[in-house]
Amino acid sequence: MAALLLWPGFRPVMAGTGSPRREVFDYTSMSGWPEAPDLTAASVYMIELNSGAVLVDKNSREQSFPASTTKIMTCLLALENCQLDERITLSHDAIYDIEEGGHHYDFQEGEVLTVDECLRFLMVESVNEIAYALAEHISGSLEAFADLMNQRAKELGAENTNFKNPHGLNDPEHVTTARDMAMILWGCVQNEQFCYYAGLPSVSGIRGRAVRMEEDFPVFGNHHLMLRSSSDYYDKDVVCGKTGYTSLAGNTLVTYASHGDMDVVCVLMQGGSDRFNDTRLLLDYAWNNFTTRSTADLARELLAQAAEPFTLADTLVPGTSIVFPNSFPFPVLRTLMKTEFSVGEVTDHGTITGTRLWKMGDSVLQREIVEIPYVEETQKPAEPDAGPEAPTLEPYSEPEGILYEDVLGWRLLDLLIIGGLFLLLIILFVVLVWVISTWHQDREEEIEELKAEKEEEKAEKKAEKLRKKAEKEKEKAEKNDRWKFRGH
């Protein structure tokens, strides 16, 4: 059913950050995947949101303590259950039921703040008393609020998370994973108000009573240094995030960043003091090693190359994206990709839902929920002695012609033929080099032999000359001796 990709009326369901459907696709084990940077954090997870592609996974399902990154869930629930101008009264427990070392300000029991003020202090200065007060205001108690947190976490895709409080202070049962925190933050950043409060670089106030930017009020900078322009770690691509630290958790950090067509969430758990540098390395890795392509663009290119006789009108609606490593030659990737379609339910408005998979080998790169029209069968002529049959609906069937898989199959065959010819040329070249090298070596040996023979011949001639000269000298000496003898 892959030809459904090209069928007029095809409508993919959006799955980016603005959609409640959030599915993860992990094909990092694919051969040639870029090597992730060396990080100090024990547990790391990074995912691209428009495609759902996992970019880095390091012990992401190991449970650990989230510390104050817990507050992203507290903030989200406050935005979903409160109005910003609602007023919250700080209770006795909110002030005094905080473990030693967890207090931030000299708040007083009975003080009143708006939800807007609370969220500023919660996300910028990570005030534990504020988290406590919000939990009481929303659910009546910490226990009831923890139940709400866990319910919402499951809705967002968390699988191994158990929240016990709204602030993240030490509790041996308050645990999560890097993967779960990424899924939770993914859900959080779909709320624009969350991005605003979690992205504030600073907040000002006096004893928590006034949150106004005035010169005589102290200014408190966001603990997430990548949001503060005055910090050496500042990164303009970072949209929002949250830090955390407790003696049990160590340093934790969750970050949402956007660059070009890519939106990523990265989570560090059990990190050292270098968590901001770790996050910078992760973001550089994402921006420099990957490219996103929309499924609509991919379909358009494949359609054009296949020379399908169908029109493009109303066929290619912008949908989801697929992430590709830059190290993979895209023409080859495009050739090896294939789509699979499975039919789902029939709707009341004359369409049928289904699922379209984008695959490469056994790896699923993307899944889209699509709708296609039913084709109504024309009324059949009446048979003898039988009344006319009622018209029936029949699911869409593939049109005749070149199918999507056929085109990809021929492309793959072409690729194999070209590869075979290229390999043959390499073999011929190697053989030719070997033949030339062997001839050259033999020729050099012949030349050396000729040189040796000439040297030997020259030496023999020289020796012969010396022998003849010696004989002449000897004859001359004997002749002289005879004359001397006669004279005496």
Domain residue spans in the chain?
2-19+305-377+393-403, 63-220, 404-452
Q: So what's the pLDDT on residue 5? A: 35
For residue 483, is pLDDT > 70? no
pLDDT, residue 218, reads: 56
Question: Quick one: average pLDDT of 342-354?
Answer: 69
258 part of the active site:
no
Q: Which member of 51, 60, 64, 68 is catalytic?
A: 68
Q: Rounded to an integer, what distance in angstroms lies between the CA atom of residue 473 and that of residue 21?
A: 116
Average pLDDT over residues 176-204: 94
pLDDT at position 334, please?
64
pLDDT at 73 over 80: yes
pLDDT of 209 reads 45
Could you give the C-alpha distances from 272 to 100, 234, 252, 369, 432, in angstroms and in order? 23, 19, 8, 41, 59
321 is catalytic: no
**Which residue, 157, 159, 166, is CA-closest to 122?**
166
Range in 80-84, 312-316, 351-355 with the lowest mean pLDDT: 312-316
pLDDT at 23: 85
Tens of pLDDT, residues 153-163: 999 999 999 99
Q: Is residue 419 classed as helix, strand or coil in its secondary structure?
A: helix
User: pLDDT at position 456, please?
Assistant: 83
Spell out the CATH class of 63-220. Answer: alpha beta
CB 64 within 8 A of CB 43: yes
Note the pLDDT of residue 482: 72
- The least confident of 3-7, 116-120, 253-257, 350-354 is 3-7
Q: Which of 64, 126, 294, 321 is catalytic?
A: 126
Pairwise pLDDT comparison (279 vs 485), residue with the higher score: 279
Verify whether residue 458 is a known catalytic residue: no
**Residue 103 confidence (pLDDT):** 74
Mean pLDDT of 386-399: 41
Picking from 109-118, 141-150, 299-308, 364-373, which range would have the lowest pLDDT averaged per residue? Answer: 299-308
- Of 6-15, 66-75, 437-446, give the range with the top mean pLDDT: 66-75
| Catalytic position from the list 51, 71, 139, 321 | 71
Whole-number Å distance between alpha carbons of 195 and 377: 51
Mean pLDDT calculated for residue range 267-275: 90
Quick one: angle between helices 115-124 and 71-81, nearest 10? 160
